[in-house]
Amino acid sequence: MFKKLNILDEKNPKLRQKSKEVTKLTDSEQELIKQAITHLTYSQIEEYEQKYDLRPGTGIAFPQLGINKRVIIIVDEYESGKFKNYVFINPKIISHSEEMIAAELGEGCLSVNREVEGHVPRYARVTVVGEDEHGNKQKVRAREELSIAFQHEIDHLDGILFYDHINKQKPFFNEKEIRLI
C-alpha cells in the first residue's frame, strides 16, 4: 500500500542543520528509503501523481523527512517510463567539472511549496562516492540533470536550500554566462 512521505516545509529549522554521518541505518530508516523511492517514482508518473496528489520530484534527503542523517535518494527517469534509483549514504563529491550549468526553468524542491525565480549555478559533471543502503561502497559520475540533482540533495545535508545559491542582484544568467539546460 502506498504511503505519502511527510516532507518538512522550508520554514522548519531542521532543514538548516548540518546532518550527521551515518554509521548504521535502522530498520525503520531502511523502510523509509523504500517508501521514498516509491514516492519519487510515483510523483514522476502522471497517473500516480494525480491519483495521490503528489508534487513531481527527483530526489529527497533525510533532513527533509526530519532525520538528521547524511542520506539522499534520487530516482532518475533516464528514459520515458524507465527509472534508476540512487541511494547514497554519506555522499561526497570527490571531483567536478569546471563547466557550470543551470536548469533553464530554475530548480524546485519538495520542501519549498512556492515558485522561486532564478538560476542556480551547478557543476555540469560531478563524481560522487558513498555507500548504498547495504553498506557497499559506490561511485557515480553524474552529468547534466543528474549532476544538478546530486548537488541539490547533498546541499540539503549541509542545511543549504537551492535558492541560497541564487544571486539576489542578478538572479538570471544568459547563455554567454552559463550553459542553460
Model confidence pLDDT, tens digit, residues 45-103: 999 999 999 999 999 999 999 999 999 999 999 999 999 999 999 999 999 999 999 99
At residue 139, the 3 state secondary structure works out as strand
Number of folded domains that form the chain: 1
Q: Is residue 142 part of a domain?
A: yes
Q: Is residue 67 part of a domain?
A: yes
Please say if the pLDDT value at position 1 is more than 90.
no
Q: Is residue 89 part of a domain?
A: yes
Please say if the pLDDT value at position 164 is more than 90.
yes
- The CATH code of the domain that includes 60 is 3.90.45.10
Catalytic residue among 49, 153, 175, 177: 153
Sheet holding 71-79, edge to edge: 59-61, 71-79, 82-96, 125-131, 137-143
C-alpha cell belonging to residue 78:
533516464
Mean pLDDT of the chain: 97
Q: What pLDDT score was predicted for residue 85?
A: 98
**What is the CB-side half-sphere exposure of residue 7 using CA atoms within 13 A?**
21
At residue 89, the 3 state secondary structure works out as strand
Please indicate whether residue 49 is annotated as part of the active site: no
Q: Is residue 9 part of a domain?
A: no
C-alpha cell belonging to residue 49:
501523481
Domain carrying residue 160: 22-180
Confidence band, pLDDT 50/70/90 cuts, at residue 35: very high
Taking the C-alpha atoms of residue 157 and residue 70, their distance in angstroms, rounded to an integer, is: 6
Task: Express each pLDDT in 101-154 by its tens digit.
Answer: 999 999 999 999 999 999 999 999 999 999 999 999 999 999 999 999 999 999
Q: What pLDDT score was predicted for residue 78?
A: 95
Task: Express each pLDDT in 10-28 by its tens digit.
Answer: 999 999 999 999 999 999 9
Q: Is residue 35 part of a domain?
A: yes
Q: What pLDDT score was predicted for residue 123?
A: 98
Q: Is residue 90 part of a domain?
A: yes
